[in-house]
Structure 1
Amino acid sequence: MPDYKEMYLTLFRATEQAINTLIAAQQQCEELYMNAPQGDLIVLSQSQDTEET
């Protein structure tokens, strides 16, 4: 008979590792974003030549 408890624990551990990997990647990306130099914002004017139907 299969050891369902061991199967469950194996899947649970792998799931936990996957979640922790995703959380770490998200945190790294947030740090990169926060530490990135601020660019200059350019305001674009809205074009007035749109036609209404």
Structure 2
Amino acid sequence: MPDYKEMYLNMVRAAEQAQNILIEAQQKCEEMYLDTQDDED
């Protein structure tokens, strides 16, 4: 019988990792944008 709890937890962990990757990418892009704004002033 499949271990549905383990399958669910695996999916939740992967989704959380994906969300964290997207958040980090967004923060990096925001920092890059702000750095270019500072250079233009």
| TM-score w.r.t. length of structure 1 | 0.69
- Structure showing the higher helix proportion among its residues: 2
Deviations 1:1-52 (A, max 9, x none): 100000000000000000000000000000000011227xxxxxxxxxxxxx
Which ranges in structure 1 are unaligned for 5 or more consecutive residues?
40-53
Q: How many corresponding residue pairs?
A: 39
| TM-score w.r.t. length of structure 2 | 0.88
Which ranges in structure 2 are unaligned for 5 or more consecutive residues?
none
Amino-acid identity (%) = 62
Moved over 2 A (4+): none
**Rg larger in structure:** 1
